[in-house]
Structure 1
Amino acid sequence: MGKLVVSQNVTLDGVVEDPSGEGGLRHGGWFVRFMGQDWEAWAELELAEAQAAEALLMGRRTDEYFGARSSVMSGEWLDRLNRLPKYVVSGTLKEPKWTNATVLAGEVVAEVSNLRQRTAGEIVVYGSRPLVRTLMEHDLVDELRLTVFPVVVGAGERLFGETDDERPLRLIRTRTVGNGLAHLTYERAREVPGRTAARR
């Protein structure tokens, strides 16, 4: 069975919206402004993750974002992403924008569960905030990797929304990326202190 990995760049207060500044958010563009001298270290981290992945999973907007850039940008990381099989969860999209992509148009939980069953390695999710929330709500995320940027922006959509129950996670790795970024890796916790068993 595939391992579903959510990989995100986030601010210290959990905001994931408008990292590039193209969305017009008042505090957008934090990704570039607070990357500092850590670009090379961040790029190495992303490349290693892409090389270990078997597939990418995303929502429609993330497909549009990367698809529009895949033909005009270059580099080892993007070349690897272009070669990977991609799955776009959307009930309205007919033709994906990114290369080597397939639309998953059915019910999200069923489609993703089926994808996990037929994939042997890591399925990585970039961006795709609404999709991530659905995957978390239905306990489909096996691992969460957060690259935390050293800024509190105070406004914007955060990675997680309201859920109908707690979603316990266990910190399994921490590392510093460059001089200013923190990379935190969590796995889904099966047992929670004070409970006999975590929700499965």
Structure 2
Amino acid sequence: MSNANGRISVVNFVSLDGVIQSPLAPDEDSDGGFAHGGWVPPYSDDTVNAFMQEATVSAAGMLLGRRSYEILATAWSGADESEPAVAAMNRMPKHVVSSKLREPSWQNTSVITGDLTSAVTGLMARTEGDLVVFGSGTLVRGLAEHDLVDDYRLLLFPLVLGAGKRMFDESGQLSRFSLADSVATSSGVVLLTYDRDR
């Protein structure tokens, strides 16, 4: 399915065994019983940080699941905007796919309910540029199932976590992507960009 204007770009930290859970802080997903939270910071060199800053600053907006939205809102809403990525996140439109979120507290946030495919395709038709998806495993699986992802920008970390929430499950459909860019960092992280073959 092609988006006439906007694009959906999934940007995620991923372990070698596909885990995306609790990458930044040990306690950010404490209700899930995940034992290895906070696995990204030890590997975050200048190249990793620049990759994430560019993905954030260049985005037209964010498309998020409720849980990832709440984590990001807690961390960055009202934070010091001297960092370009923080200023960009506070400024840009944020669209949250949720049946539970009623009154979002983070500025410039709207809630998406109802049919995912029609809601997202409508949103993309009104968007110029990339809507980035951070984390949001359930949302990513739903987008992939309906072939709505235009590119994956994955930061592949050199560790196996053994358990945790993964970006993909057994649902979805066959979708082919081409490797657009790859960079190996000094810390062993590989930055991979895959574009959808359409």
TM-score (norm 1): 0.87
Contact 2:61 2:130 in 1 (8 A): yes
Report SS of the residue matched to 1:153. Answer: coil
Q: Choose from 5, 8, 30 the match for 2:9.
A: 5
Partner of 2:114: 106
Q: Unaligned 5+ residue runs, structure 1?
A: 191-200
Q: Choose from 39, 42, 46 the match for 2:48.
A: 42
**What is the root-mean-square deviation in Å for CA atoms of aligned residues?**
1.6
Partner of 1:186: 194
Does residue 1:56 correspond to 2:62, yes or no?
Answer: yes
Measured in 2, the distance between the counterparts of 1:165 and 1:44 equals 32
2:96 counterpart letter in structure 1: V
Q: Choose from 96, 115, 126 the match for 1:88.
A: 96
Contact 1:12 1:152 in 2 (8 A): yes
The alpha-carbon deviation at position 61 of structure 1 amounts to 0.8
Instruction: Give deviations 1:72-98, integer Å, cap 9, x for gaps.
Output: 643221111111111111122111132
Q: Choose from 129, 134, 138 the match for 1:130.
A: 138
Measured in 2, the distance between the counterparts of 1:71 and 1:165 equals 36
Identity of aligned residues (%): 38
2:118 counterpart letter in structure 1: A
Report SS of the residue matched to 1:53. Answer: coil
Does residue 1:118 correspond to 2:123, yes or no?
Answer: no
Which stretch of the first structure deviates more once superposed, 157-166 or 71-80? 71-80
Q: Unaligned 5+ residue runs, structure 2?
A: none
Q: For 1:28-39, what aligned pairs fall within 5 Å after superposition?
A: 28-32=37-41, 34-35=42-43, 38-39=44-45
Partner of 1:21: 26
2:181 counterpart letter in structure 1: R
The count of aligned residue pairs is 187
Report SS of the residue matched to 2:159. Answer: coil
Contact 1:64 1:97 in 2 (8 A): no
Partner of 1:145: 153
2:26 counterpart letter in structure 1: G
